[in-house]
Structure 1
Amino acid sequence: MTSIEFPGTPAGRPPGRATAPYDAVVLAGGGARRLGGADKPAVRVGGRALLDRVLAACADARTTVVVADPRPTARPVRWEREDPPGAGPVAALDAGLRRTAADDVLVLSADLPFLAAGTVRRLLDALRAGRAEGALLTDADDRDQPLVAAYRTAALRRELALLTAAHGGLTGLPLRRLTAGLDLTRVPDPVASFDCDTWDDIATARARIREHGHVLDEWISAVKDELGIDLDVDTGVLLDLARDAAHGVARPAAPLTTFLVGYAAAQAQGGPEAVAEAARKAADLALRWAQEAEQEAAAKPGEAGPDAR
């Protein structure tokens, strides 16, 4: 297994989403031989199935096709299967591509624990910035990762047709046969390109998301996915509020206050701005509460506070 040093960037969903329509094809039907035949897309990292983590990163795709046998997923997708099942990644990609219509298509494997929406945006921006037919990530060893990439749909269909004509079919063909005929641009990203081929890789991914610099963003992202919430808020504001409530009122006030802030924002049918405004009001209240306590503590024993006259 390649050793990877992860930078201290949050794993949560960054701001900014792809604007032009694109489709996504996720290959999730491999045999996972290096995992002993385990159902790799269902293996959990940070409490979420690997497949669901990948689907969250491309949640704004117009159409998402998962090439595998159907299973429960965190969001609705279309299902497809290569014929015959197990015919390999090129055949699987061809099957998925038949269900797409956008000019650009995101092609992903289902074992990318650190893929995020920001990476998807970077790939699509790189593809659309010039005349390239594909933009793919490279890993920590500078190797191409064709299953973490954005492609021109027409270019993929052209190459698939050429391969079918040359080989009489696509079964068993390696991906490099497909990408060899494409004009590609490369985007280095050793984190997002990290895939889980072995149980050691799974252990590395699970350990990484529990590191101090990542665990909170991972947890918030997981909770939002579990609850079906697509709302980006300033977690720093909420953490400051929780700290002020715990310090100025009582420790149990911290989680209860942040819950009430969220409830108030939901009642107002607001977005991040409503959360920020409710947090500001609650923080001001916590500050006033703390100031009163400080005034009382400063008063001499047996005397009233300075505002009691």
Structure 2
Amino acid sequence: MRLSGTDEAGTDDAGTGEAGADEAGGGPPYDAVILAGGRAERFGGADKPGALVGGVPLVERVAAAVRAARTVIVAGPPRDLPGVVFTREDPPGGGPVPALRAGLAEVTSPSVVLLAADLPFLETAHVAELLAVLRGDGTGGTVGGTAGAVLVDDTGREQWLAGAWRTAVLRAALGAYGGRSLRGLLGPLAPVPVRLAAGAAPPWFDCDSIEDLRAARVRAGERRERA
């Protein structure tokens, strides 16, 4: 199922760009797939992508980080995000691999940024660095032709839902994969690890639980907002 976000005036700080080139140098066009259809069991079954940090829903914050994408695709329930394409995995809530499969079906650019919907501190500069490493001109010093690039946290752990990939490589891998694990799908592709300075708010910080959401709100200066 494919739907477009409702286009209402005055609703969007997290709107997507039309140029489809990253903001740190006008590189080749890319699309973005944001996975937002999980069961959120550690979130009490609440609408995690819609949870507010800094007064903005998590999924909108992530969409803002990829606003330069040619197309932003959200694999999850439709919501009011102008200019965004919505699709659903089959069955809904079936996990990240089916969600990626559904999202990738809407991708038309040669590169795709794959993200979780619960990364409140991801910014355009982080996305631009992932794309630069993917193309071989980032700080990772890699040669062109790598399958992908993923953020790693301060312990060196890969963040599979914070990366940039060559679309053709992902499609081929999905076509040959019958499992349910995102790590099982992406790990063998040997993406380049991208280590970024964490700063005050690490871009890989995700809101897996209500406690994580509270911590994100504290980081964002919202100590009085209820979880």
Deviation at 1:123, TM superposition (A): 0.2
| Structure 2 residue 188 is the aligned partner of structure 1 residue 181 | yes
Corresponding residue SS for 1:181: helix
Give the AA of the match of 1:193.
W
Deviation at 1:180, TM superposition (A): 2.6
Deviation at 1:92, TM superposition (A): 0.5
Distance 1:18 1:120 in 2: 13
Deviation at 1:121, TM superposition (A): 0.2
Deviation at 1:204, TM superposition (A): 1.2
* Counterpart in the other structure of 1:205: 216
Q: In the alignment, which of 41, 57, 60 is matched to residue 52 of structure 1?
A: 60
Distance 1:43 1:17 in 2: 32
Q: Which shows bigger deviation, 54-63 or 177-186? A: 177-186
* Counterpart in the other structure of 1:132: 146
Q: In the alignment, which of 30, 34, 37 is matched to residue 42 of structure 2?
A: 34
Percent of paired sites with the same residue: 46
- TM-score of the pair, normalised by structure 1: 0.59
Deviation at 1:72, TM superposition (A): 1.1
Distance 1:160 1:141 in 2: 28
| Structure 2 residue 35 is the aligned partner of structure 1 residue 21 | no
How many residue pairs match? The answer is 189
* Counterpart in the other structure of 2:118: 111
For residues 93-133 of structure 1, the C-alpha deviation after alignment (integer angstroms, 9 at most, x for no partner) is 01100001111000000000000000000000000002210
Higher RCO by CA contacts (8 Å cutoff, separation 6 or greater): 2
Corresponding residue SS for 2:33: strand
Corresponding residue SS for 2:189: coil
Deviation at 1:18, TM superposition (A): 4.7
- The structure-2 alpha-carbon separation of the partners of 1:17 and 1:105, relative to structure 1 and needing over 3 Å to count, comes to same
- The structure-2 alpha-carbon separation of the partners of 1:33 and 1:108, relative to structure 1 and needing over 3 Å to count, comes to same
Q: In the alignment, which of 76, 101, 109 is matched to residue 83 of structure 2?
A: 76
Q: In the alignment, which of 95, 98, 104 is matched to residue 88 of structure 1?
A: 95
Give the AA of the match of 1:48.
V
| Structure 2 residue 155 is the aligned partner of structure 1 residue 141 | yes
Distance 1:209 1:85 in 2: 31
As a proportion of its length, which structure holds more helix? 1
Deviation at 1:17, TM superposition (A): 5.4
| Structure 2 residue 212 is the aligned partner of structure 1 residue 196 | no
- Structure 1: state its 5+ residue gaps: 1-14, 212-309
Distance 2:43 2:26 in 1: 34
* Counterpart in the other structure of 1:277: none
- TM-score of the pair, normalised by structure 2: 0.80
RMSD: 1.5
* Structure showing greater Rg: 1
Give the AA of the match of 1:103.
P
As a proportion of its length, which structure holds more strand? 2
Contact 1:28 1:67 (C-alpha < 8 Å) held by counterparts: yes
Distance 2:192 2:25 in 1: 21
Corresponding residue SS for 1:180: helix
- The structure-2 alpha-carbon separation of the partners of 1:136 and 1:198, relative to structure 1 and needing over 3 Å to count, comes to same
Corresponding residue SS for 2:173: helix
Distance 1:18 1:54 in 2: 20
Deviation at 1:140, TM superposition (A): 2.4
| Structure 2 residue 78 is the aligned partner of structure 1 residue 67 | no
* Counterpart in the other structure of 1:239: none
Give the AA of the match of 1:51.
V
